[in-house]
């Protein structure tokens, strides 16, 4: 730790000690008083939740009584139950569910075959012995997984077996656990399910969410109280029945909010007491660290590959000397990279020349051997010459075929232009549309017109040239957030019909010492460029008798014109 930092830290500690002591004392007293008030308020709320649970389960019992009475006394329901007429029984159960507001109602036979279901008529006929078994598992409310059309849900159910004219049946009513008023918790109150194991209520508690789901999150509560006991079938994903205590747990978010408010006030007080010490330290740090931060920012850009930057000067003499030495080192790095790139280009050309030399020699060696044999046969006599030629003619033919195929292969990778009839305006329009969709980051301003501009160049080569010219203009305009203007027009002052493609940008321009080199192969001023685009473009245009003209002003932009001969109807 530096001496300046130690001074600032010492001043801060001296100013903070009394503020912290007073703030912590007020925080402790206020929290204690607020906790007492919250305990009384939560006791009243838990009483309301307990009454809501008793009310909801009592309503389920009343609905079960009504359903049993309906099935036992209603003639239509009795006949349908005894005859197994699912339609009439389904209608009766549906009316019951609509009038009573029951969301879950089942009627099954004694073995568990569903006879009617209020929420999903398609369940009729499905065999589910677990549903019928609910009437035997517990006498009071039970929480179990009940299948609904939207999936299985946790529900509070009551089930009862009864007889109608000697026909045994099971009536089941229930409500989704998440729909009960006691479950509708919030940030203050939550309903917990705790397996009843003696008097230990803190063993494996689970929180019952708004949708009736049970999650392990049941920590961080300030108080708890049991409101009811139920049987829970399927606890922890199994099928056994576990006695569970329903516990209301609460926390006080107001207390946490007040504590946070006190903490904020304390922080503001600490900040105010530290202003004077911080101002002095920041002033000294700013004066000493600003030049170093500027050097670090420039070094960061160099680290990211920006070698066109320079280290600024402006600080102590030592920092100025450091910037001078760093700029010298950066200049040597740029020179070294330029030499490496030039060496790579030369190595590429050398490798290509070596490969061509190797391939051509492979084709010439057999021919040279045949010519030597023919010369020896010529000295011997005409008969030997004819015999030798007849024996070695195939070798010469195969070698010439090999050289011809080799020439075709190298010609396939070489740039060349063909005098075919192509529409320059249509090609330029296609390139503009592709560039607009690609999102160059600059504005393209096409002035292409509507009439075709037929020129003597094949469409593939023409598009290649136009794309190279537009791409170079876009790269230049992107540096100034400018625009690229693209136009096609007929050359009025030409002896023979010609068309001109104009590509103009308002970028930084090309320095005079570089204008003569932009069409050289492998010459480029961009780190991501290959230096072949403009060289290939000029070669393709020259192959069909055209020309490319470049004009550029530093600070104003660059203008490139491509002039091609107009194509007549006979050019195809």
Output DSSP code: residue 567: P
Is 327 a member of any domain? Answer: yes
Q: Do residues 381 and 497 both lie within one domain?
A: no
Please give the tally of structural domains in the chain. 3
Contact 449, 425 (CB under 8 A): yes
Measured CA to CA, the distance from residue 386 to residue 463 in angstroms comes to 54
The model's confidence at residue 562, banded by pLDDT at 50, 70 and 90, is: very high
Residues 544 and 559 in one domain: yes
Q: Taking the model in full, what pTM does it have? A: 0.41
Is 396 inside any structural domain? yes
CB 466 within 8 Å of CB 428 = yes
Torsion angles phi and psi, residue 511, rounded to 5: -60, 150
Q: Does 372 lie in the same domain as 460?
A: no
CATH of the domain at 156: 3.30.450.20
Output the CA torsion 428→429→432→434 (10° steps): -110
For residue 104, count other CB atoms closer than 10 A to its CB: 23
* pLDDT average, residue stretch 122-139: 80
Looking up residue 557, the CATH number of its domain turns out to be 3.30.565.10
Domain boundary among 414, 431, 449: 414
pLDDT over threshold 70, residue 111 = yes
Q: Note whether 13 and 123 are same-domain residues.
A: yes
Report whether pLDDT(3) > 50.
Answer: no
Same domain assignment for residues 407 and 437: no
Across the chain, mean pLDDT equals 77
Say yes or no: 402 and 540 in one domain. Answer: no
pLDDT at 502 over 90: yes
Which of 273, 296, 323 marks a domain boundary? 273
Residues 325, 319 contacting (CB under 8 angstroms): no
Q: Reply yes or no on whether the pLDDT at 551 is more than 60.
A: yes
Residues 47 and 128 in one domain: yes
Tens-place pLDDT, residues 55-79: 888 888 888 888 888 888 777 777 7
CA distance 120 to 124: 8
Classify residue 78: in a domain, yes or no.
yes
Dihedrals phi, psi of 128, to nearest 5 degrees: -140, 85
Tens digits of residue pLDDT in 18-30? 777 777 777 777 7
Tens digits of per-residue pLDDT, 413-422?
555 556 788 8
**Confidence at residue 487, expressed as pLDDT on a 0 to 100 scale:** 92
pLDDT at residue 501, as a whole number = 93
pLDDT at 499: 92
Terminal Cα distance for the chain, rounded:
81
In a domain, 571, yes or no: no
385 and 438 part of one domain: no
Which residue, 371, 391, 414, sits at the end of a domain? 414
202-257 residue pLDDT tens: 556 777 776 666 666 666 777 888 888 888 887 777 778 888 888 888 877 676 77
Q: Decide if 279 is inside a domain.
A: no
- How far is residue 89's CA from residue 78's CA, in Å, rounded to a whole number? 8
97 and 208 co-located in one domain: yes
On whether both 321 and 384 belong to a single domain, the answer is: yes
Report pLDDT for 199. Answer: 39
**Structural domain for 462, as ranges:** 421-565
Residue 316 has pLDDT above 70, yes or no: no
Q: pLDDT > 90: what percent of the chain?
A: 4
Mean pLDDT of 338-367: 66
């Amino acid at each position: 730790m530096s001496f300046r930092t130690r001074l600032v830290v010492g001043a801060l500690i001296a100013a903070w000690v009394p503020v912290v002591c007073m703030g912590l004392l007020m925080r402790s007293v206020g929290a204690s008083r607020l906790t007492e008030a919250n305990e009384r308020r939560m006791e009243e709320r838990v009483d309301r939740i307990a009454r809501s649970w008793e009310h909801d389960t009592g309503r389920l019992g009343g609905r079960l009584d009504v359903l049993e009475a309906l099935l036992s006394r209603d003639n239509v329901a009795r006949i349908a139950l005894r005859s197994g007429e699912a339609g009439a029984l389904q209608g009766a159960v549906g009316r019951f569910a609509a009038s009573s507001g029951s969301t879950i109602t089942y009627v099954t036979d004694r073995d568990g075959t569903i006879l009617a279901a209020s929420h999903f008529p398609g369940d009729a006929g499905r065999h589910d012995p677990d549903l019928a078994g609910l009437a035997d598992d517990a006498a009071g409310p039970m929480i179990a997984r009940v299948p609904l059309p939207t999936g299985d849900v946790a529900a509070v159910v009551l089930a009862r077996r009864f007889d109608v004219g000697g026909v045994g049946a099971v009536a089941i009513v229930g409500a989704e656990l998440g729909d009960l008023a006691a479950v509708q918790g919030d940030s203050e109150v939550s309903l917990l399910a705790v397996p009843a194991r003696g008097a230990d209520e803190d063993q494996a508690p689970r929180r019952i969410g708004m949708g009736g789901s049970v999650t392990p999150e049941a920590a961080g509560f300030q108080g708890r109280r049991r409101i009811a006991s139920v049987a829970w079938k399927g606890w922890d994903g199994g099928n056994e029945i576990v006695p569970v205590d329903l516990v209301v747990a609460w926390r006080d978010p107001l207390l946490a909010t007040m504590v946070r408010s006190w903490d904020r006030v304390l922080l503001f007080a600490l900040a105010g007491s530290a202003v004077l010490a911080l101002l002095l330290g920041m002033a000294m740090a700013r004066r000493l660290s600003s030049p170093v931060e500027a050097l670090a920012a420039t070094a960061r850009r160099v680290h990211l590959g920006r070698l066109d930057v320079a280290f600024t000067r402006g600080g102590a003499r030592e920092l100025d000397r450091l910037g001078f030495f760093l700029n010298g080192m950066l200049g040597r790095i740029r020179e070294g990279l330029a030499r490496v790139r030039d060496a790579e280009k030369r190595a590429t050309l050398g490798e290509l020349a070596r490969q061509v030399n190797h391939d051509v020699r492979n084709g010439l060696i057999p021919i040279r051997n045949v010519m030597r044999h023919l010369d020896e046969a010529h000295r011997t006599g005409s008969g030997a010459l004819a015999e030798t030629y007849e024996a070695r003619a195939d070798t010469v033919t195969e070698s010439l075929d090999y050289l011809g195929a080799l020439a075709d292969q190298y010609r396939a990778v070489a740039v060349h232009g063909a005098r075919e009839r192509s529409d320059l305006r249509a090609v330029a329009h296609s390139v503009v549309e592709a560039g607009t969709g690609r999102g160059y980051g600059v504005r393209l301003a096409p002035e292409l017109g509507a009439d075709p501009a037929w020129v003597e160049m094949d469409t593939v080569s023409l598009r290649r040239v136009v794309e190279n010219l537009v791409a170079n203009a876009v790269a230049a305009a992107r540096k100034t957030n400018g625009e690229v203007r693209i136009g096609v027009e007929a050359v009025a002052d030409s002896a023979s019909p010609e068309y001109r493609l104009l590509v103009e940008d308002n970028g930084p321009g090309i320095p005079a010492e570089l204008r003569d080199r932009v069409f050289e192969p492998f010459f480029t001023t961009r780190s991501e460029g290959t230096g072949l685009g403009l060289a290939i473009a000029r070669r393709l245009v020259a192959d069909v008798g055209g020309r490319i003209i470049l004009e550029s002003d530093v600070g104003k932009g660059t203008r490139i014109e491509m002039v091609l001969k107009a194509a007549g109807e006979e050019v195809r």
